[in-house]
Amino acid sequence: MHKLLKISWLNVKNSVYSKESLLGIIALFSYSMLWVFLVHPAQYRLEGYDFEFGRFLYVIILYAAVCIIRNDIRFNTIKTIFTGVFTRTEIMISKGIGLIIWGVIFSVIVEINNILVSCILYKKIGISGFLAFDHLQLFITYIVITFCMGSLMVFIVAVMFSEKKSVLFIIGILSMVNFYTAAIPILVGNRPEIAKNFSIYMKTPFYNTVLLMQGKFNIKSVSINIAWAVLFFILSVFIINKREIK
Amino acid sequence: MNEVLKINEVTKVYGKQTVLDKVNLSLEQGEIMGLVGPNGAGKTTLMKIITGLIKKYDGDVYINTENIRSKKKQDTKQIGCVIETPGFYPDLTGYENLLFFAEISGLKDKNEISEIVKKLGIESYVNKKTKKYSLGMKQRLGVAQAVLTYPPILILDEPTNGLDPAIVPELRKFIKYIAKEKQTAVLISSHILPEIELMCDKVAFIQEGKIIKIESLKKNEKDTALIAFVTSKLVELKNFFNNKKLSYKILGEDKLHVVINPKELENLVLSISKENIPIRSVYEVKESLEQKYLKTMGDGKNA
């Protein structure tokens, strides 16, 4: 287990050190600062800025998850990895642990953004606003979202098993789903009677991810997302185990 | 010597195409075997089966007498490999890549990395990011990664591909070193036949998924040699070989070729001189691997 953790950490570290990762973080904070300096809606508190940051971060989460396997296909390191001492299942478990590590990193990035926003908007939010924020819920939220949506992306890459950029198109679609369905949890929250119209959608990871990102933390959404994550992950492990590495 | 790798009747079919057809091979400790054949002959597929990258196939692959299908992964990590172009994380240095793969390979003593880097002569660029590497540099780093744990079996697919000709002898020297000193069995494929000839103890010719011929390249292990005799009395020499029931081939007015066991040459020359047949010269006609390759693959086509 210790070895797997080390491999997972090294794997994440390799992605963190990449040029794409650096560009992603710069873009992420630039987007956040656009909201702080240019848009700054009057009704927005820290939660509002946190949600906007999370919407952009969602794209980065999907991309980071894709990179966890796609980079090995792209850089042809997959053959070396799959001929090492670890079984394919163990390698995939290390990738899963990698997703959780990414979740921790993302929650730290969100907190850095929250500190920045609180300091820049010190009159409106300030340190007291930052301290009033539920940091544990944020921490759990980003780990669960990264694990769930990351597992979905790992599953998609396992099925496609290609370095082709078409997977980036899927990231685009999922990001749009996240963006355009953000209103549904608010609608359901305001008018509970329409919940039955969305009953199936409410069981998907997409709905529950948006809900968690909006700060509506609840154990049911966390459990649904974890259940989906486990399902996607088991399927990915099964597919990878059956694959021929060409 | 111990047999470390045994490939028994391995067959691989993709759709209607048979890529490997009942391949049998064995490799002993410290032995270097070349695998030569045209593109699409099945060399890489065979290597991928041995390394576990391809799991569905008929037949069996044994590592140290145990079937790789039934072995635990930790036990089967006895193979280092470079299959096709070696891959590395471009934003890490060569050394950082080796550190990562050392974890994957289960290397405990990280000092071994520096030793291998030194032996392969890649110190000058190992601390540069691999995205700046040429194909030749990647090939050498790939070999370094493959031998990190000094595995009992080393599989190298076209390792000299893209290498500077000046570097090839160094790599050859290193491969020979690990075979001799670390008793690593090496299976190597290459299109550069003179290189295979200089490096390998044995060569397996593969065509259309079939092993056509396995030949020893070790001088002292050869059973037969093609010997040329030049004489002014060709008729007498012909009669002499007829009496000895040795087959020969006449080449011109004063020369013939005969296939004999090299150990018998001395006695044969002595017998000829006793018959008072003047011999102007006797020499071994060496066939290069390239000539053997063309001959063997030609035979394969006709078969």
B12 compared with A168, residue with greater pLDDT: B12
Tokens coding B12: 């691989």
Say which residues have a Cβ less than 8 Å from residue B268's Cβ, sequence separation at least 6: B244, B260
B162 compared with A78, residue with greater pLDDT: A78
Question: What is the value of ipTM here, to two decimals?
Answer: 0.82
Q: Do A82 and B53 touch (CB under 8 A)?
A: yes
Check: CB of residue B26 under 8 Å from CB of residue B187. no
pLDDT of res. B210 = 92
Residues of chain B contacting A1 with CB distance shorter than 8 Å: none
Domain boundaries, chain A: 2-242
- Measured between CB atoms, which of A86, A87, A244 is closest to B56? A244
- Measured between CB atoms, which of B52, B54, B104 is closest to A80? B104
Start-to-end CA distance of chain A, whole Å, equals 29
Tell me the CB-side half-sphere exposure of residue B215, using CA atoms within 13 A: 18
What is the distance in angstroms between the Cα of A214 and the nearest Cα belonging to chain B? 35
Residues of chain A contacting B89 with CB distance shorter than 8 Å: 14, 18, 71, 75, 77
Nearest CA to A57 out of A125, A146, A187 is that of A146
Cα B148 to Cα A232: distance, rounded to the nearest angstrom: 35
Check: CB of residue B70 under 8 Å from CB of residue B82. no
- Span B17-30, average pLDDT: 93
Q: What percent of chain A has pLDDT above 90? A: 56
Q: Do A79 and B81 touch (CB under 8 A)?
A: yes
- All structural domains of chain B: 3-217 (3.40.50.300), 222-284 (3.30.70.980)
Report the Cα B250 to chain-centroid distance in Å: 33
pLDDT of res. B108 = 74
Residues of chain A contacting B101 with CB distance shorter than 8 Å: 80, 84
Mutate to test the interface with B, among A85, A92, A97, A241 (most CBs of B within 10 A): A85
Nearest CA to A96 out of A194, A204, A231, A243 is that of A231
pLDDT of res. B180 = 92
Write out pLDDT tens, residues A9-27: 888 888 888 888 889 999 9
From residue B65, give the alpha-carbon distance in Å to each of A62, B78, B204, B215: 45, 13, 21, 23
A144 compared with B268, residue with greater pLDDT: A144
CB atoms within 10 A of CB B90: 17
Between helix A2-16 and helix A88-120 the angle, nearest 10°, is: 50
Write out pLDDT tens, residues B170-218: 888 999 999 999 999 999 998 888 888 888 999 999 999 999 989 888 7
3-state secondary structure of B263: helix
Check: CB of residue A185 under 8 Å from CB of residue A159. no
Mutate to test the interface with B, among A79, A94, A97, A238 (most CBs of B within 10 A): A79
Residue environment code for A139-172, b if the CB has 16+ CB neighbours within 10 A, otherwise e: bbbbbbbbbbbbbbbbbbbbebbebeeebeebbe
pLDDT of res. B302 = 39
Cα A232 to Cα B292: distance, rounded to the nearest angstrom: 54
Mutate to test the interface with A, among B81, B104, B154 (most CBs of A within 10 A): B104
Q: What is the pTM of this model?
A: 0.81
Residues of chain A contacting B20 with CB distance shorter than 8 Å: none
Angle CA(B272)–CA(B275)–CA(B279) in degrees, nearest 5? 45
Task: For residue B245, list its beta bridge partners.
Answer: none
Say which residues have a Cβ less than 8 Å from residue A227's Cβ, sequence separation at least 6: none
Check: CB of residue B72 under 8 Å from CB of residue B100. no
Q: Do B73 and A85 touch (CB under 8 A)?
A: yes
Cα B117 to Cα B96: distance, rounded to the nearest angstrom: 12
Check: CB of residue A79 under 8 Å from CB of residue B83. yes
